[in-house]
Amino acid sequence: MIKFYKYQGTGNDFVMIDNRSGFFPKQDKALVAFLCHRRFGVGGDGLILLENDEQYDFRMVYFNADGSESTMCGNGGRCLVAFAKQLGIITNDKCRFIAIDGEHNATIDKDNKVSLQMIDVQEITVNKEYCFLNTGSPHHVELVRNVKEYDVFNNGKEIRESELYAPGGTNVNFVEQEGPNHFRIRTFERGVEDETLSCGTGATAVAISMYLTGKADDTTIKIDVEGGNLKVAFEVDENNKFSRVFLSGPAELVFEGTIEI
């Protein structure tokens, strides 16, 4: 029997497991995929292990829903902060943890709104039709019309599997401007291999791309996702290096339980 917790951040949902004792068989991809399966398991866009680390409050280990260990997940990181607070690892409103892309600082308020510092970003490819950058995970960002009706699955899958991003592929974000410094996005996530209701590293990538290409003129940007609302804030210097990048939004416990494996 495995004890699990289910968290969601603007509809991006995760199976959370307290692995401080090191019991979880991380090499078992089939087990991870089973736990993330929405018919036979708990169900989630990914699975996250909270582990001990001597230098940090905790360590984040993130797996895609297909069982593969993945790059950084922004909403997953925010949910993990809320999970750490529930477990009593965080005794105030601040924490510092380590993930696959490095160190992260975060704050959490009484309403479980988490503000997570993402990695600094400087290497950004800007083309006429799209931007590409890594915000902890790789992201293709493309402006479209009528994003609500856009065929995210088929168009996202085509870009994700294209020669442009071979062999590893990329996440794909389709964007429409809603107002000044306000954008709506839909994201096709690799590893999930489908559209998700939200993507934190994707929202971060969109905010930076829109600022860099002149579609936004403020360093605080609102991002509407299918599952709710996020905010991205950053600092930027004369060399277009983006630092002190913060992704903010809700992170909520949905339910907890045990499952037999």
pTM: 0.96
Same domain, 111 and 129: no
Among positive and negative, which fits the CA dihedral 194, 211, 100, 90?
Answer: negative
* 199 is an active site residue: yes
Domain membership of residue 152 as a residue range: 124-249
Number of domains in the chain: 2
Question: Are 183 and 208 in the same domain?
Answer: yes
Please identify which of the residues 73, 79, 95, 131 carries the catalytic annotation: 73
Is 231 within 8 Å of 222 (Cβ atoms)? yes
Which residues carry a binding-site annotation? 12, 64, 74-75, 171, 189-190, 200-201
State whether 166 and 230 are in the same domain. yes
Q: 247: which strand partners? A: 116, 232
Domain of 217, CATH number, reads 3.10.310.10
Q: Which of 115, 80, 118 lies closest to 94 in space, CA to CA?
A: 115
Name the packing angle between helices 200-212 and 74-87 (round to 10°): 130
Using alpha carbons, list the distances in angstroms from residue 162 to 16, 165, 179, 192: 32, 6, 31, 17
Claim to verify: residue 96 and residue 146 sit in the same structural domain: no
d(CA 126, CA 130): 6
Domain match, 154 and 83 both: no
Distance set, CA 156 to CA 50, 147, 184, 206 (Å): 31, 12, 16, 15
* 56/160 same-domain check: no
Structural domain contains residue 256:
no
| pLDDT per residue as tens, the chain (261 positions) | 999 999 999 999 999 999 999 999 999 999 999 999 999 999 999 999 999 999 999 999 999 999 999 899 999 999 999 999 999 999 999 999 999 999 999 999 999 999 999 999 999 999 999 999 999 999 999 999 999 999 999 999 999 999 999 999 999 999 999 999 999 999 999 999 999 999 999 999 999 999 999 999 999 999 999 999 999 999 999 999 999 999 999 999 999 999 998
Residue 89 and residue 10 share a domain: yes
**Beta bridge mates, 176:** 184
* Binding residue positions for substrate: 12, 64, 74-75, 171, 189-190, 200-201
**pLDDT the model gives residue 12:** 97
Residues 72 and 185 in one domain: no
Burial of 229 (0-12, 13-18, 19+ CB in 10 A): middle
